[in-house]
Amino acid sequence: MKRLAILVSGRGSNFEAIAAHIAAGRLEAEIAAVISNNPEAPALGIARSRGIRAISMPSKGIDSDTYAAQVVEALAPLGIDLICLAGFMRRVGKPLLDAYPQRILNIHPALLPSFPGLEVQKAALEYGVKFSGCTVHFVDAGVDTGAIVGQAVVPVRDDDSPETLAERILKEEHKLYSECIAVVLSGAYRIEGRRVVRTATELKGKPPLVRLMEQAETDTRQYLGPAIAAQLSYWRQHASYSEGDLMRFLKEWLRREQASRVLTIERNGGISVEKIVLDFYPERFTEEERQLARKALGR
């Protein structure tokens, strides 16, 4: 299991969202520690109440590099795969960047490179942009300048205040961060210049359902049209490839399509979503879902 360290300074809603995605089986990872540079941060309390190691490491009066070296020391015994800054209000010093090259992520509540820095929802509103959003990026020595892993767009409304805009952006942050963490933990990307490019993942060694879903992309493009293929491709790219995820996608598919169409997953082999429900994993689906599947297959 890949191990995360989360660095916070305050409220901790992004940390909590990551913890919730993990607890619900949507993100395969483990939070090994939460470190706060602010001893008063509510995030520390959230960590303790979830039984997650909470480390208070005040940074007041300490320069960034010295502080970064202390964080490196605290994390060293914990075997951390990825550090996630979640509302961490200090610049990340060189010792930490050097110890975790391309292994530190940050979330920023604007569409970078627009509006880096602080109070960015207010800045976006005052500038008059019609769309804002959030960005997950690798951390480098600059302020909000690292390569972008993912972004989510949020429309700006005429009656928005910085607070209402921030609230809608935050909802997207809570989803986007875990999706991007999954991508980075999967290792299925490469960095070309500033671009984080997703790479095709190895099919071998994946659970059978993953192979089926990946095969389905090719097949559906050919047989069922681009819209469904695009949907499958979206699922595949946003999945952390756990079987649990794919089960949820299949369930979502069934609900949305009301099993009105049998999605053939294996060319000529006749394996469909509905067959997977009924024949492979009946116990994982509700009676209602099984009924939908039966209806679609005319059983």
Binding residues vs ligand GRF (CB under 6 A):
8, 10-14, 86-87, 107-109, 170, 173
Selection from 31, 37, 36, 29 nearest residue 5 by Cα: 31
Q: Provide the Cα torsion 252, 257, 261, 267; round to 10°.
A: -30
For the bound state, the minimum distance from the C-beta of residue 177 to ligand GRF, rounded and expressed in Å, comes to 8
Contact 3, 78 (CB under 8 A): yes
| Token couple for 117 | 């820095």
By beta-carbon proximity to ligand GRF, the closer residue of 108 and 290 is 108
| Token couple for 266 | 């294996």
21: annotated active-site residue: no
DSSP string, 239-297: ----HHHHHHHHHHHHHHHTT-S--EEETTTTEEHHHIIIII-GGGS-HHHHHHHHHHH
Residue nearest to ligand GRF (CB): 87
By beta-carbon proximity to ligand GRF, the closer residue of 170 and 293 is 170
Catalytic residue from among 21, 108, 137, 174: 108
Rounded CA-CA distance 260/292 in Å is: 8
Using alpha carbons only, how large is the chain's radius of gyration in Å?
A: 21
For the bound state, the minimum distance from the C-beta of residue 280 to ligand GRF, rounded and expressed in Å, comes to 39
For the bound state, the minimum distance from the C-beta of residue 135 to ligand GRF, rounded and expressed in Å, comes to 9
Contact 97, 69 (CB under 8 A): no
By beta-carbon proximity to ligand GRF, the closer residue of 125 and 170 is 170
By beta-carbon proximity to ligand GRF, the closer residue of 156 and 210 is 156
For the bound state, the minimum distance from the C-beta of residue 86 to ligand GRF, rounded and expressed in Å, comes to 5
Catalytic residue set:
108
